Structures are given as structure tokens and as C-alpha cells.
Structure 1
Amino acid sequence: MGESRTELIAWVNELLQLNYTKVEQCGTGAAYCQIMDSIYGDVPMQRVKMNAKHEYEFIANYKVLQNVFKAKKIEKPILVDRLVKCKMQDNLEFLQWIKKFWDANFGGQPYDPVARRRGAPTDTPATIAPIGGGARHVSGAGLHAGGARPGGRTPVGGPRAGSAQSNEQIQALRSQLAEMSSHLEGLEKERDFYFSKLRDIEILVQAQVEENEKKGIEDHTLAEIQKILYSTEEGFEVPDGQPLDEEETF
């Protein structure tokens, strides 16, 4: 059995001078990167986003971590697709492993975590809640406000409970809207991040195909890659006789 969640979070906060409150917050990957930096001192911390809030930022942090593992010949698999979901069990298991690795490899040298991350902001990560959770809460409040009030009528001149409840609901809805807008912005950035990668792949493949055509070479692998890149989902086919916009390859 490894350390408990409370012990692990206390260790992370003490080592890195953070203020995490739960294991799930390690799912951003930032803390894992800096724990490795405390051992080796050469992790490119300028590339680690300590206050990452969106999944595409988490993935970028894990890319740094994967490069460290590769450079140091550490064979432990990093289950990025699970860790970025900020689930407790997955991150607890990985944090327990990384603590054991730290115990076995940390040389006891002085380590200044704030200086290593060059004062980068370290807002405590918030685990992502499902969209709509706030709506259910507001709905429940609305039902309570609209129901019968025990204790009779409000005295003349007393506070208007209905008005106070309405204001609370408005504030809750505004908070939910702001959260959803932030979530949508993150999804749009994530979409653009992956689209850019696909576009780069397309350009490289097309250039190689053209070069092969000049030399009379057939490459079935490249043909299969192009087939995947240009495939469409049912319902998204280009209508007959209508050319595809050249700038909208995907």
C-alpha cells in the first residue's frame, strides 16, 4: 500500500510549494513535470503550463513529461488519455508510483520550485464538472422557492424571500453561463490545436506523394493516410456537383 491521498497531496504541496487540495488536480500534468524536475533539474519548466485549465493544455504538459521519460529511459507507461480526465483513481495510482520513483532517485539536493518555474502563476486547478450540473442545482432551488412556505405569510415590511431567491437564481445562471462560455472557449482552442496538427500531416503527406509521383514510386501507406484524412462521416458528404472548398480540406 502506498501513501494515502492526504499524505501525497501534503508531499506535493511541500515539495513544489503549491496549494493543491485533491489528487485529481494533478491530472493537469504540471505537478508531475515539476516532481521530475526536482530529481533531474533539467525539465524545460518554461514549457510547462502550471495553471492549465483545458485538456489540450494538459496534453501539452504530458508531452513534456513523456519526453523526460524517454530521455531518462524510464519505461513506466503514461496513460495520458486517462490522467487528463482528472479522475481520482487514475491519478492516485500514478502519483503513488511517481512518489516511489522520487524516493528512489531524489538525491537530497536543494530545490527551489518557485525559481524553477520562474514565478509562473500556479492557480489551483479545478477539476472539470459536467456541463449542466449548475442547471440542476438552480432547478432545485427554483422548485423550493415556488413551493409552499411553512410558517405563514411574510410580515408586512419584512424581506421578500421570493425576490431574494430570484436574485440567487440569476447569479447562479450567470455563473453557469460564464462557466459554459469558458468551457466552449477551451473546446474551440482544443479543436484548433488538433486541426493544426492534421493540417501539418496533410501537407507533409501531399508533398511526399507528389515527390513519389515524379519518381514513379507508389506508396500504399501514404495512400491509406490520405484516405483517412479525406474520409467523411455519414451525413457530411460533399453534394454531387458541388466542389469542395480548397481551404476546408477536412
Structure 2
Amino acid sequence: MAVSRSDLLAWLNELLQLNYTKIEQCGTGGAYCQILDSIYGDLPMARVKMNAKHEYEFVANFKVMQNVFKAKKIDKPIPIEKLVKCKMQDNLEFLQWMKRFWDSNYGGQGYDAVGRRRGAPAEPPATIAPLSTGARSASAALGVGRSGGKTPISGHRAGSTQPNEAMQALQTQLREMSTHMEGLEKERDFYFAKLRDIEILVQQQTETLESQGKEDDNLKEIQKILYSTEDGFEVPENAAVDEEETF
């Protein structure tokens, strides 16, 4: 029988000494990793980022978990692409499976959750919220869109805290946008570096084979994918090309 959301959260918070308030917060991957660690006690918790904020960090946590599944021969696919979106239903189904797995494999030994994660924050992870949320807050503070509102923004009543609230909401929105953009840039650089490493390895192997009068169709297909373009992403004909970079 499926365990309810409230019961799952109560179990998770008690086992791992966390303060999660929503199932979807498990989408960061940290809690799932530590559930496994409570069973086996040998998961590399130093590589798990419990306070992950960006999707590429969530993916890194799940990669750690994936390695444990492989090492322990756990025959269960991990739907990483769905879980990292922090949707409630996807994470509810996976957490229910994790609870059943834990019930079947936990040996009853004591578990120092805080010690194992070396005192990493136990507060609920702040998953990235849509930027429109902050925009709506700012609009509400400014009184935009209220039916029947006749007081101009600059003509607030004496004693009103409306402008101050509006400024705070806009500053919050700006911080959210800045954090979001920083995360996207890090994620872009993370995957670009991987592609660049692949390109170099393929190029080196291709040159080695060519010097031996050989070729590899698989390498040619990989290069074809690496150098393919789509509408809107073509390199301009007159653009300067960095001799060391091929992307």
C-alpha cells in the first residue's frame, strides 16, 4: 500500500534529521542519496550537495546515487530527467519506492544523519521557482492589476508602506533573476567543458588513425554530431573563429 505524503515526509525528516516540507524538494537528490547511505553506510556523502540549488547540481547528486545502484546491483531505473524538475508526482512515486526499499533492506542499525553529511544544512533546499512568481509579488506590492484601484503609485496615502514593499519585492526579483542566470551560466559551462573534452579525444584518435591509414566510422559520426548546426545557431560567415576552439 502506498504511503501518504505526510507519512513519507515524517519518516524522511526523522530518519535524516531534515526539515523538508514538500515531497518535490527531494528532486535535488540529496535526500535520496542519504536514504541509501542509511542502509549501506558507505555512500560518498562528501560528494553529495545537500543544499544544491541548480539543476546541474541535482544531476550530479543523482549520478552519485546511480553509481551506488550499479555497485549494489539495484535493478531500478532512476528517472533523473523527471526527478530533477522537482515535480511532486514524480518524486512522490520514487520516494514511495525508496521507502519500500528501505523497509526491506535497513538493518535497524543506528544512523547519525547529521554526522554523515558533516553538518550540511538541514533546511529544505530552495529549488528554483519560476521568475514570474517574483514578478507577481512585485505587481501586487505596486497595486498593479487590482480592480477598482485608483490610487497612483506615487500618490500613496500617508503612512502606507506600499513603496517600501514594492522596492523589496523588486529587489527580491532581481536577486532571483541573478541567481537563476548564474546557475544557467554554470550549467552551460559545465556541459560545454564536457563536449570540448569529447571533441579533443575524438580529434586525437582520428588523427592517430589517419596517420596509420585507417578511419573509424563511429568517430566520424560523433564529429558530425559535434559540428552540426540548427537554424539560428549557425556561425556567421564573416565571424572570427578562435583557432583553438571549434564550437
After TM superposition, the score normalised by the length of structure 2 is 0.92
Compared CA separation, residues 241 and 159, structure 1 to 2 (3 A): closer
Q: Contact 2:17–2:122 at 8 Å: present in 1 too? A: no
For residues 16-31 of structure 1, what are the structure 2 equivalents within 5 Å?
16-31=16-31
Residue 93 of structure 1 aligns with which residue?
Answer: 93
How many aligned residue pairs are there? 241
Given the alignment of the two structures, is residue 3 of structure 1 paired with residue 28 of structure 2, yes or no? no
| Distance (whole Å) between structure 2 residues aligned to residue 117 and residue 94 of structure 1 | 22
| AA in 1 matched with 2:149 | G
Which of 174, 179, 183 is matched with 1:177 structurally? 174
Deviation at 1:178, TM superposition (A): 0.5
Deviation at 1:133, TM superposition (A): 2.0
Which of 190, 193, 206 is matched with 2:190 structurally? 193
* Structure 1 SS opposite 2:131: coil
| AA in 1 matched with 2:13 | N
Q: Contact 2:39–2:106 at 8 Å: present in 1 too? A: yes
1:112-165, Cα deviation, whole Å (9 max, x unpaired): 11111122233321232111222123224423498137xxxx9xxx8333xx21
Identity of aligned residues (%): 71
**Runs (5+) with no aligned partner, structure 1:** none
1:17-70, Cα deviation, whole Å (9 max, x unpaired): 111111010000000000000101110000000110110100000000000000
Compared CA separation, residues 176 and 219, structure 1 to 2 (3 A): same
| Distance (whole Å) between structure 2 residues aligned to residue 34 and residue 134 of structure 1 | 32
1:62-98, Cα deviation, whole Å (9 max, x unpaired): 0000000000111111000000000000000000000
| AA in 2 matched with 1:247 | E
Given the alignment of the two structures, is residue 214 of structure 1 paired with residue 232 of structure 2, yes or no? no
| Distance (whole Å) between structure 1 residues aligned to residue 67 and residue 165 of structure 2 | 48
Deviation at 1:243, TM superposition (A): 5.3
Q: Contact 2:48–2:61 at 8 Å: present in 1 too? A: yes
| AA in 2 matched with 1:159 | A
**Runs (5+) with no aligned partner, structure 2:** none
After TM superposition, the score normalised by the length of structure 1 is 0.91
Residue 225 of structure 2 aligns with which residue?
Answer: 228
Q: Contact 2:54–2:183 at 8 Å: present in 1 too? A: yes
| Distance (whole Å) between structure 2 residues aligned to residue 33 and residue 181 of structure 1 | 29
Deviation at 1:217, TM superposition (A): 1.5
Compared CA separation, residues 75 and 231, structure 1 to 2 (3 A): same
Given the alignment of the two structures, is residue 124 of structure 1 paired with residue 124 of structure 2, yes or no? yes
Compared CA separation, residues 229 and 170, structure 1 to 2 (3 A): same
* Structure 1 SS opposite 2:204: helix
Q: Contact 1:50–1:123 at 8 Å: present in 2 too? A: no
| AA in 1 matched with 2:166 | Q
Q: Contact 2:28–2:127 at 8 Å: present in 1 too? A: no
| Distance (whole Å) between structure 2 residues aligned to residue 63 and residue 214 of structure 1 | 37
Residue 246 of structure 1 aligns with which residue?
Answer: 243
Q: Contact 1:24–1:87 at 8 Å: present in 2 too? A: yes
Structural RMSD (CA)? 1.9
Residue 147 of structure 1 aligns with which residue?
Answer: 149
Given the alignment of the two structures, is residue 44 of structure 1 paired with residue 38 of structure 2, yes or no? no
| AA in 2 matched with 1:147 | G
